[in-house]
Amino acid sequence: MFQSRTHTCGELRLQDAGKEVTLAGWLENVREVGANFAFLVLRDYYGTTQVVVQTEEMMQIIKSINKETTIQVTGTVQERESKNPKLPTGEIEVIPQKITILGKCRHNQLPFEINKSKEADENTRLKYRYLDLRNPAVKKNIILRCQVVAAIRAAMTDHGFLEITTPILTASSPEGARDYLVPARNHPGKFYALPQAPQQFKQLLMTSGFDRYFQIAPCFRDEDARADRTPGEFYQLDMEMAFASQDDVLSTLEEVLQPIFCKYGKYERVSSYPFRRIPFNEAMERYGSDKPDLRIDLEVQDITAEVAGCEFAPFQNATVKAVAVDDFEQGRKWIDKLLVDVEVQTGNKSCWFKVDENGELTGGISKFLADYKDALTQKLNLKPGSFVCMAAGKKLAAQKTAGVIRTMMGKRLPGHFDEEQYAMCWIVDFPMYEMGEESGELEFCHNPFSMPQGGMQTLLDAEGDMEKLLAINANQYDLVVNGYESASGAVRNHDPEIMVKAFQMVGLGEEDVKAKFPAMYNAFTYGAPPHAGAAPGIDRIVMLLCGEESIREVITFPMNKTAQDLMMDAPTTVSQKQLDDVHILINESHLN
């Protein structure tokens, strides 16, 4: 049997001096210091070892190969004269008697320097991802991901959950994003869909008598990329509990996830549980977001009443929100950039004023606010040196714009952003319904399978009254970590009659429910237990643990921002025979 190595490149220590060893790895670097003298760095998964070439024979071999060639080195370990305390193997080096080429790198020029691959263009990194992953700094994120997934599995099992896999080929379902469709060869004109989430299957498992379910589930959604969201596919800790309340789910996930952040996180400080619970409406009022970053100490305040009657046009017949800070020392250039960045992110304009050393309002729109100085001073606790940035418009738009202002000011001004921690909270009491921005009609706000608070009676009391319908809260909850939604869940609507009534409110009748969710509807008619669950996002959690700003840094083979796999050249065209097999005809006029 071929024996490629006796030790790894991260294993040898000073006590190994004098041993004959065999190492194998990639030739990371060569530094020639004489005619027959050179230092090599040999790298494998475990670390690096310095190899010192001292003979003409060894030198000829080294000169004939390119960096990143895989080689086997057999030699003797000796103590280094110039030690490197930064390396675990920094006290030793290997003097080779034999160097064997195992896998030749045939390229004189690499797409990027391996140890600096994170500085390269992202598309180049993704195209040559197998080289990018050789960078120990990139590889460590994937290693951490493996460790976190293993720890989550162990914790869920310890809490009495069974790991059960659910189908990948399933029926199309209105989950809120576009499906990936798979044509069915044996059923012309029909399609499978890749699951956006195992939502229906896990609820069916509860009706089947399984008490606690989980899986590390692949989910597929045809949606655009963001820094914290990858297009195409992602993984979540999918979990469900029978005979469970909201409190049961929240406390279980706190017990599972909080120790994960404590053990594997970049920051030492982690919120202790039970985590703070913030109702949705309170979050929007105080933070301008249902994903508040609680590391920022600023809050949004409503000054609509204080500026009532103001002649500043954007304030008229509008909700006005403000974010105030003291001891403001930034100049006009800083303020202008803030206003531009807020508008770019939200599409809405913002405005501002300052308080001078005499307590007078100055700058920005201060000339419109002279008559409101006392009311604003009391409401916002203004002092000389205060700065106030404001947003106005319809209530939701003003809230969201002020939320962006809060985040930008908090992170850009000194003393308001306590970054090195994991600040966790639950957002609870989400609205059951909302008015669709595009349709202008009543729609489900979050998850159509959620139980409305108050059950059937709440729906009956609100029927036909739009204001009451919009005031209904659902038993829905999100886990937010450092401003990122990291889990979403709900107490499920397990009663077919309540489910039908909830869908009637958005214009769908019983037959629509039966047609869209036949298995779940029918299963519930056979006696379903009350159940609840959630789905923390694995990719996003690992991103937070690593302290990365892009989710693609913690995915082994990610797609780019336009859902392309540059390494595998996917998506790509297929042969006419493959199209014929699945009864697909491409309309050429739609390709351009």
Does residue 286 belong to any structural domain of this protein? no
pLDDT score of 228: 73
Does residue 280 belong to any structural domain of this protein? no
**Looking up tokens 């493996």, which residue turns up?**
146
pLDDT in tens, 296-330: 999 999 999 999 999 999 999 999 999 999 999 99
- The domain that contains 304 carries what CATH number? 3.30.1360.30
Q: At residue 59, does pLDDT exceed 60? A: yes
Judge contact between 591 and 571, C-beta under 8 A.
Answer: no
Mark whether 310 and 252 lie in a shared domain: no
Does residue 98 belong to any structural domain of this protein? yes
Total domains, the chain:
3
Mark whether 56 and 94 lie in a shared domain: yes
**Position 247 confidence tier, pLDDT thresholds 50, 70, 90:** very high
Does residue 120 belong to any structural domain of this protein? no
User: Can you tell me the mean pLDDT for 488-496?
Assistant: 94
Does residue 133 belong to any structural domain of this protein? no
**Position 490 confidence tier, pLDDT thresholds 50, 70, 90:** very high
Does residue 132 belong to any structural domain of this protein? no
Of 219, 221, 235, which is closest to residue 178 (Cα–Cα)? 221
pLDDT score of 279: 97
Mark whether 314 and 387 lie in a shared domain: yes
DSSP for 244-304?
--HHHHHHHHHHHHHHHHHHH-SSSEEPPSSPEEEEHHHHHHHHSSSS--TTB----EE-T
CA atoms of 288 and 320, how far apart (whole Å): 12
Mark whether 94 and 155 lie in a shared domain: no
Of 148, 197, 165, 144, which is closest to residue 488 (Cα–Cα)? 197
Q: At residue 1, does pLDDT exceed 50? A: no
**Looking up tokens 């065209």, which residue turns up?**
573
Mark whether 340 and 261 lie in a shared domain: no
Quote the mean pLDDT of the chain: 93
CA atoms of 76 and 495, how far apart (whole Å): 73
pLDDT score of 176: 65
Give me the torsion for CA of 344, 345, 346, 347, rounded to 10°.
Answer: 20
Stated pTM of the model = 0.91
CA atoms of 549 and 266, how far apart (whole Å): 13
Mark whether 512 and 467 lie in a shared domain: yes
pLDDT score of 440: 82
CA atoms of 276 and 297, how far apart (whole Å): 15
Mark whether 413 and 452 lie in a shared domain: no
Mark whether 259 and 368 lie in a shared domain: no
**Looking up tokens 């090599």, which residue turns up?**
40
CA atoms of 173 and 170, how far apart (whole Å): 9
- The domain that contains 482 carries what CATH number? 3.30.930.10
pLDDT score of 2: 52
Give the chain's count of helices (H) and strands (E): 17, 24
pLDDT score of 178: 86
Mark whether 160 and 248 lie in a shared domain: yes
Its domain, for residue 79, covers: 14-103
Name the region of 211 (left: φ>0; alpha: ψ -120 to 50; beta: rest).
alpha
Per-residue buried b or exposed e for 477-508, using 16+ beta carbons within 10 Å of the residue's own CB: bbbbbbbbbbbbbbbbbbbbebbbbbbebbeb
pLDDT score of 232: 84
**Position 3 confidence tier, pLDDT thresholds 50, 70, 90:** low
pLDDT score of 456: 93
The amino acid that residue 385 corresponds to is G
**DSSP state letter for 188:** T
How do 421-422 and 269-270 pair as beta strands?
A: parallel
pLDDT in tens, 332-354: 999 999 999 999 999 999 999 99
- The domain that contains 32 carries what CATH number? 2.40.50.140
Mark whether 318 and 257 lie in a shared domain: no
pLDDT score of 438: 76
pLDDT score of 172: 86
Q: At residue 17, does pLDDT exceed 60? A: yes
User: Can you tell me the mean pLDDT for 359-383?
Assistant: 94
pLDDT score of 226: 73
**Position 509 confidence tier, pLDDT thresholds 50, 70, 90:** confident
Q: Is 226 helix (H, G, I), strand (E, B) or coil?
A: strand
Show which of 103, 121, 153 is a domain's final residue.
103
Show which of 417, 437, 469 is a domain's final residue.
417
Please give the structure tokens belonging to residue 5: 């190595």
Show which of 375, 401, 417 is a domain's final residue.
417
User: Can you tell me the mean pLDDT for 451-472?
Assistant: 92
**Position 118 confidence tier, pLDDT thresholds 50, 70, 90:** very high
Q: At residue 175, does pLDDT exceed 60? A: no
CA atoms of 163 and 160, how far apart (whole Å): 10
What is the C-alpha R_g of the chain? 30
Of 195, 244, 247, which is closest to residue 221 (Cα–Cα)? 195
pLDDT score of 79: 95
Does residue 113 belong to any structural domain of this protein? no
Mark whether 74 and 156 lie in a shared domain: no
Kind and range of the H or E element at 336?
A: helix 332-346
Does residue 284 belong to any structural domain of this protein? no
Mark whether 452 and 565 lie in a shared domain: yes
